[in-house]
């Protein structure tokens, strides 16, 4: 969690730096009176790196993926709950009372 979060912050910083570099580059172009055709190579690499790092962090920090398949072990229902609202007490267990000394002692 801590590591993933730090990596995510680092990725956002890289993206911010890429944006800052682009703005500076455009300013430089304006001074040199050239046309803007695209960001320089190092900014593109920075963008791709920041994107990858952010994506990794976004996929790891919130938690693990859960299966959506109905037959996955977490989703596959193997038994229904006992219908406790309709439970009745005079069942055959009545014939075999527990021989333990069970009492509330206070």
Partner 1 sequence: MVSKTEQSQLDRLENQVDNGGGGDWEYLCLVRKLKVRRSDKVLKYGLAILNDPKKRSSLGQDEWTLYEQVAIAAMDCQSIDAAKDCIKVLQKKFSESKRVGRLEAMLLEAKGSWAEAEKAYSSLLEDNPLDQVVHKRRVAMAKAQGNISGAIEWLNKYLEIFMADNDAWRELAEIYVSLQMYKQAAFCYEELILSQPTVPLYHLAYADVLYTLGGLENLQMAKKYYASTIDLTGGKNTRALFGICLCTSAIGHLAKGRNKEEKDSPELQSLAVTALEKDYKQRAPEKLSLLTTALKSMKIS
Which residues of this protein are in contact with partner 1, per CB under 8 A? 69-90, 93-94, 97-98, 100, 102-106
Sign (positive or negative) of CA dihedral 48, 51, 56, 57: positive
Q: 38 vs 70, which CB is nearer to partner 1?
A: 70
Alpha carbons 40 and 66: distance in angstroms, whole number: 41
The pair phi, psi for residue 76, each rounded to 5°, is -75, 120
- Smallest gap from Cβ 74 to partner 1, in A, equals 5
- Smallest gap from Cβ 96 to partner 1, in A, equals 9
Q: 35 vs 91, which CB is nearer to partner 1?
A: 91
Alpha carbons 47 and 54: distance in angstroms, whole number: 10
- Smallest gap from Cβ 89 to partner 1, in A, equals 4
* CA angle (79 as vertex; 76, 81 as ends), nearest 5: 120
Q: 2 vs 70, which CB is nearer to partner 1?
A: 70
């Amino acid at each position: 969690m801590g590591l993933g979060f730090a990596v995510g912050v680092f990725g956002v910083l890289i993206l911010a730096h890429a944006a800052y570099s682009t703005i500076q580059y455009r300013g430089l172009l304006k001074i040199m009176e050239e046309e803007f055709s695209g960001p320089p190579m190092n900014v593109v690499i920075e963008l791709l790196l920041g994107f990858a790092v952010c994506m990794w962090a976004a996929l790891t920090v919130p938690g693990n993926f859960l299966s959506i398949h109905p037959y996955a072990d977490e989703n596959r229902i193997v038994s229904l709950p006992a219908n406790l609202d309709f439970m009745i007490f005079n069942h055959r267990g009545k014939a075999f009372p527990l021989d333990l000394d069970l009492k509330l002692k206070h």
